[in-house]
């Protein structure tokens, strides 16, 4: 009876929030779990439940999977507003049932927080769990990669054969997961990525014998064709294996059990090539046809919460997600800034807003993140602002970046006055993912200032 009280109360709250234009608010889900702590266990699930987790790539991959299933005619519920904890899952699943707890949708797509996976997915029991990767993340919240590994591994051990694990063969960490599960691997060959060397190693030694990890090739960070120099630990054979990536024509060739299939890419970045590869693996496993997936991908772009662009007077202005305190995500974006060939300005809106409410700031991530990658000739100016602007400036100087290329101001709004308006091709505003609106406002203010200066010159 408690469950139905929780369901009805939360459904009524959902209705009220919808009337207020706040249907993406996950507080009805929080209400449901407060009334009925095992709400996630008791609520009925649709026939297809897909969970996407991992350090990086969850949002883009989840969106691709959800959008394709919808295009195929399935009704889905997807926590695309970023609520990837218990309350968000509860709201997601409530959308899938009526007041009698009977399923009314075909599928639930759950972008899931990896740290709490063992507390939630063991109640939900999804049909599939995709693990994108395990990399160095926030020290304050996630600790270290081995800690995240333990949470995901515990989840898969409890679920056993009830859930199929879809794993990254190139990742020496996450590829070891799910020994008791059905496992399917996706992976990528040597595409000549020539990644920069990171300061922090996501995996230091072989997990089987503590020997030295070697690579036939690396893709980025610790992902690649790995092996142990002292035992038989090595990259697993992938059912879905990318044989080449063509950035110029935005194509990826995937060997699917001996048959080559060509799919469009959604951007010119390696990490998004992996997102496409992992999404294809999931969609093929649930029965989607490769030709249909290929046609679908032709129309897809990077989700707007990760990248948007406007152009004025020959310069492209981007709002581009980077994630503060996430060592691997920020370093990967910094590497892309260096390798992307255009002359550019880079604005860092990576001020840890959440730290304003803490008496002690956590700045260790600055010294584990590869700011050295920003020391590139094509990055003409780096601009930082906010209450931690001096910490960022110090880190940039320690990275060897010339002081004349750094603009550091306490008030973020003052950054606008220092952005170059000629002699460059692009401006990137790199932002913490929780600050999308602020980033777009900053980007738009930079464009507005450029227009004002342009009009003044006549």
pLDDT at 122 over 70: yes
pLDDT at 359: 46
Three-class DSSP category at 319: strand
d(C-alpha 136, C-alpha 405), whole Å = 29
Determine the average pLDDT of the residues in 323-351.
91
Say how far apart CA 38 and CA 40 lie, in whole Å: 6
- Whole-number pLDDT of residue 211: 94
Q: Count Cβ neighbours within 10 Å for each residue of 424-448 and write b for 16 or more, e otherwise.
A: bebbbbbbbbebbebbbebbebbbe
Q: Which residues pair with 244 in a beta bridge?
A: 253
Helix or strand or coil: residue 350? Answer: coil
Which residues, 6 or more positions from 412, have their beta carbon under 8 angstroms from its beta carbon?
349, 351, 385, 386, 442
Do the strands 379-385 and 406-409 form a parallel or antiparallel pair, or are they unpaired? parallel
Q: Which comes out higher in pLDDT, residue 350 or 414?
A: 414
> Where would I find the beta strands (DSSP E) of 313-438?
315-321, 344-349, 379-385, 406-409, 426-431
- Find tokens 């679920």 and name the residue: 159
Q: Band of the pLDDT at 458, cuts 50, 70, 90?
A: low
Q: What is the reported pLDDT for 356?
A: 55
pLDDT at residue 205 greater than cutoff 60 = yes
User: Do 43-297 and 307-452 share a fold?
Assistant: no
Q: Which helix (H) or strand (E) holds 12?
A: helix 2-19
Give the CATH architecture of domain 43-297: 3-Layer(aba) Sandwich (3.40)
Rg for the chain (alpha carbons), in Å?
23
Q: For 91-120, what is each residue's pLDDT tens digit?
A: 999 999 999 999 999 999 999 999 899 999
What residues have CB less than 8 Å from 338, skipping those under 6 apart?
A: 196, 373, 374, 376, 378, 379
pLDDT averaged over the chain?
92
pLDDT at 304: 66
Which pLDDT tens digit goes with each residue over 275-329? Answer: 999 999 999 999 999 999 999 999 998 776 678 899 999 999 999 988 777 889 8
pLDDT of residue 23: 73
Kindly tell me if the per-residue pLDDT of 177 is higher than 70: yes
Across the range 385-404, mean pLDDT stands at: 94
Is residue 408 predicted with pLDDT exceeding 50? yes
Q: What is the pLDDT of residue 350?
A: 84
Q: Delimit the domains of the chain by residue range.
A: 43-297, 307-452
The stretch 119-139 carries a mean pLDDT of 93
Nearest Cα residue to 29 out of 90, 79, 113: 90
Question: In 211-298, where do the E strands start and end?
Answer: 213-220, 223-228, 240-246, 251-256, 259-264
Which residues, 6+ apart, have CB-to-CB distance to 346 below 8 Å?
A: 337, 374, 379, 381, 382, 383, 427, 428, 430
pLDDT tens, residue by residue, 29-70: 889 999 999 999 999 999 999 999 999 999 999 999 999 999
Distance CA 39, CA 33 (A): 6
pLDDT for residue 19: 85
71 and 296 Cβ atoms separated by less than 8 Å? yes
Round to whole Å and give the CA distance between 236 and 186. Answer: 9
Task: Give phi and psi for 358, each to the nearest 5.
Answer: -115, 140
Q: Give me the pLDDT at residue 374, please.
A: 98
Residue spans of alpha helices (H) in 136-191: 139-142, 145-159
- Return the pLDDT at 321: 84
CA separation for the pair 355, 350 (Å, rounded): 12
pLDDT over 70 percentage in the chain: 97
Would the pLDDT of 259 be above 70?
Answer: yes
pLDDT surpassing 80 at residue 139? no
Residue 176 clears pLDDT 70, i.e. is over it: yes
Structure tokens at 389: 């602007």
pLDDT at 424: 97
Residue in 136, 252, 227, 125 with CA at minimum distance from that of residue 175:
227
| Level-2 CATH architecture, domain 307-452 | Alpha-Beta Complex (3.90)
Question: H-helix or E-strand containing 439?
Answer: helix 436-457
Length of the chain: 458
Q: CA torsion, points 195, 399, 144, 215, in degrees to nearest 10?
A: 20
Say if residue 223's pLDDT is above 50: yes
């Amino acid at each position: 009876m408690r469950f139905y009280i929780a369901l009805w109360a939360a459904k009524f709250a959902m209705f009220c929030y919808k009337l207020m234009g706040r249907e993406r608010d996950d507080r009805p889900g929080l209400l449901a779990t407060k009334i009925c702590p095992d709400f996630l266990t008791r609520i009925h699930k649709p026939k297809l439940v897909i969970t996407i987790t991992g350090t990086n790539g969850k949002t883009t991959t989840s969106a691709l999977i959800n959008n394709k299933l919808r295009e195929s005619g399935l009704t889905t519920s997807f926590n695309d507003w970023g609520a990837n904890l218990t309350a968000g899952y509860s709201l997601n699943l409530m959308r899938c049932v009526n007041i009698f707890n009977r399923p009314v949708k075909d599928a639930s797509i759950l972008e899931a927080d990896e740290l709490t996976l063992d507390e939630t997915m063991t109640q939900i029991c999804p049909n599939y769990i995709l693990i994108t990767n395990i990399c160095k993340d926030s020290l304050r919240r996630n600790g270290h990669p081995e800690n995240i590994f333990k949470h995901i591994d515990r989840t898969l051990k409890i679920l056993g054969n009830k859930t199929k694990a879809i794993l990254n063969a190139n990742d020496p960490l996450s590829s070891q997961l799910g020994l008791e599960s059905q496992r399917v691997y996706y992976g990528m060959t040597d595409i000549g990525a020539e990644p920069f060397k990171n300061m922090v190693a996501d995996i230091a030694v072989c997990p089987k014998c503590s020997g030295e990890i070697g690579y036939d090739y690396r893709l980025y960070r610790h992902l690649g064709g790995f092996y142990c120099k002292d035992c038989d630990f090595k990259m697993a054979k992938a059912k879905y294996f990318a044989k080449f990536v063509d950035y110029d024509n935005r194509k990826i060739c995937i060997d699917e059990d001996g048959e080559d299939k060509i799919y469009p890419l959604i951007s010119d970045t390696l990490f998004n090539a992996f997102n496409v590869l992992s999404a294809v693996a999931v969609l093929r496993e649930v029965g989607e046809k490769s030709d249909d997936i290929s046609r679908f991908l032709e129309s897809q772009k990077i989700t707007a919460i990760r990248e948007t662009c406007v152009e004025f007077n020959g310069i492209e202005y981007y709002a581009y997600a980077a994630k503060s305190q996430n060592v691997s995500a920020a370093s990967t974006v910094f590497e892309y800034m260096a390798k992307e060939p255009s002359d550019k300005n880079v604005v860092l809106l990576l001020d840890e807003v959440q730290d304003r409410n803490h008496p002690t700031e956590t700045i260790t991530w600055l010294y584990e993140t590869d700011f050295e990658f920003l020391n590139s000739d094509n990055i003409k100016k780096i601009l930082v602002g906010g209450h931690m602007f001096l910490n960022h400036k110090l880190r940039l100087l320690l990275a060897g970046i010339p002081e004349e290329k750094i603009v550091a101001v306490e008030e973020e709004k003052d950054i606008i006055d220092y952005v170059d308006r000629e002699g460059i091709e692009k401006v990137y505003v790199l932002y913490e993912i929780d600050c999308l609106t602020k980033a777009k406002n900053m980007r738009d203010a930079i464009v507005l200032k450029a227009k004002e200066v342009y009009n003044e010159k006549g």
